[in-house]
Structures are given as C-alpha cells and as structure tokens.
Amino acid sequence: MGIDDANIPHKAEKFTQILWPQGNTSFCKTIQSYLEQLSKLDQTIRRMIVESLGIEKYMDEHMNSINYSLRLMKYKEPQSDETKIGLHAHTDKNIVTILYQNQVKGLEILTKDGQWINVDPTPNTFTVMIGDSLHALTNGRIHAPFHRVMVKGNEARYSIGLFTIPKAGYMIKAPKELVDEEHPLLYKPFTHLEFITFSYTEEGMKCESALKTYCGV
C-alpha cells in the first residue's frame, strides 16, 4: 500500500484516513516528515549523479522531471526455516528507490557476476537502488541491479520505499553528451508509463530485460 504523487502535501492525510478513519495525527506527521527528509536525500543523490556525469546543463530539467511515490511493505513471516520468496527478482523501473527496513533481513542483490548477495539491515541505514529509467537516461553508465526479497523464520519484514518516478509524458532519453562512438545509444526514447505497461505484459515478464526488449537499440 502506498501514496502516489507523494509530494502533494494532503496525500499523506488522505492515506492516513484510509488506515485510521478517525485520524492518526502522529502517523500522518511521521509520514510527512519522512517524505520531506527522504525527498531531500533523493535530490542530493540525483544531483551528485548528474554532476558526476558532467551533464549539469540538464540539472533543472532532471530535478523537475519526477514525482514521488511512497510504498509501505509487509512480508509475512513464513513460520518456517525454509527460505521462501517474498518478492521475485526484478529491476526497479523508475529512477531511484530509497529503501528503509526493520531488523528482519531478506533483501538480496544480484552482482554483475551473477552472485546473490545479502543486504543486511543496519540501523539508520538506507539502501539506494537505481532503476531502469536512470540506467537508460545515463546511457547505461549506471547499473540497475536485479534484487529480490527472501524470507524465513517467525518475524515479519517491514520496509518502506520512496520511489522517484518520471512525470507522465516525460521522455526518457540519454543526453547527447553521453552518446559517442565509444558509448553508442543503448535505448530509444520512451515514457515511464509505456515502459511499465510493457513490463507487465506476458512478454515483458518473460524476457530477461524488459528494458532491452522494449526499447533496446
């Protein structure tokens, strides 16, 4: 469950009302404050990425091209020592995801050489995941890793994700500065909505990389 267009202040109130029709000021304020602080962290991260790629002239366009979505997730305890899949292996389709979780481990990331590694929970630590849209926008300079959640034991895993999502209709297109003979264009321009729609089709779910199949050059 979550909040789309989470940058709109009254959305946190509406979301709280769904969970507590009689109201819950403390929850609502916590969510608002979380959104405020985490969106600043997201902006710092994206600014650093744009600067590190030397494409500062696109900074304002990039910073203004997204909306936020906040999702609260619960992975039920399987009540068994056998490891079960909580969330299937996938790449995020958006720009940047910032994850925070309780003390129950389960998040795993696939390294470029094909090893699944655990992301062990550390208090006060956020995990930043790059999504396919940023991978495409940077013409492949930044890797969008496959990740999954594996659960076992008797304790539920809770996580909260702030997702940076391209605005409706925004064309995701690598700037010309990142395309040259050594780095040929990897993906044709696309919108997030069209890409995500494809990724949910039978073909999109079956193929190894929905991004490559959908708009790979």
Ligand X SMILES: O=C(O)CCC(=O)C(=O)O
Residues contributing to the site for Fe ion (CB under 5 A): 92
Does residue 199 bind ligand X (CB under 6 A)? Answer: no
Does residue 101 bind ligand X (CB under 6 A)? Answer: yes
In angstroms, how far apart are the furthest CA atoms of the chain? 61
Close Cβ partners of 45 (under 8 Å, ≥ 6 residues apart): 96, 98, 128
Q: Which does 107 bind (CB under 5 to 8 A by kind): ligand X, Fe ion, none?
A: ligand X
Only segment of 27-35, 99-107, 166-174, 200-208 that touches ligand X (CB under 6 A): 99-107
Does residue 152 bind ligand X (CB under 6 A)? Answer: no
Does residue 131 bind ligand X (CB under 6 A)? Answer: no
Does residue 87 bind ligand X (CB under 6 A)? Answer: yes
Residue 175's alpha-carbon distances to 61, 179, 183, in angstroms, are 11, 7, 12
- Give the integer Cα–Cα distance in Å for 75 and 46: 29
Distance from the Cα of residue 124 to its chain's centroid:
19
Q: Which does 89 bind (CB under 5 to 8 A by kind): ligand X, Fe ion, none?
A: none
The least distance separating ligand X from the CB of residue 181, rounded to whole angstroms, comes to 35
Q: Which two tokens stand for residue 39?
A: 């969106």
Does residue 147 bind ligand X (CB under 6 A)? Answer: yes
- Give the integer Cα–Cα distance in Å for 203 and 211: 12
Does residue 149 bind ligand X (CB under 6 A)? Answer: yes
**Coil, strand or helix at 189:** coil
- Where does this chain bind ligand X (CB under 6 A)? 73, 87, 92, 99, 101, 107, 147, 149, 159, 161
